[in-house]
């Protein structure tokens, strides 16, 4: 399992997220056994990173891509090729 700092570094290097005063906050989640983080840019939540089992990341990605036109759901920004994590937009 990859570490959150390695994930963020890779996402910045690939141009997927911006390196604007990033603040990382771990979320407590009742709907998954995975680990969730929010990334804040300049104090504003922008991204969610979910780290979980590959099967669950694949299912999350499939669900979000299937319903990508539903404005109530986040946009998938990146899915790790090994399906260890997924990055999507923060919604409130």
**Within 13 Å, how many C-alpha atoms sit on residue 57's CB side?**
22
Single pTM value for the model: 0.90
38-79 residue pLDDT tens = 999 888 999 999 999 999 999 999 999 999 999 999 999 999
Q: How confident is the model at residue 21 (pLDDT cuts 50, 70, 90)?
A: confident
In the chain the domains, ranked by start, together with CATH numbers, are 4-89 (3.30.200.20)
């Amino acid at each position: 399992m990859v570490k959150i700092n390695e994930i963020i570094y890779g996402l910045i290097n690939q141009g997927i997220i911006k390196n604007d005063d990033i603040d990382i906050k771990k979320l407590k989640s009742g709907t998954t056994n995975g680990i969730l983080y929010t990334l804040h840019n300049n104090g504003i939540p922008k991204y969610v990173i979910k780290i979980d089992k590959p099967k669950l990341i694949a299912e999350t990605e499939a669900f979000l891509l299937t319903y990508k036109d539903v404005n109530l759901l986040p946009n998938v920004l990146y899915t790790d090729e090994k399906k260890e994590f997924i990055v999507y937009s923060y919604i409130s």
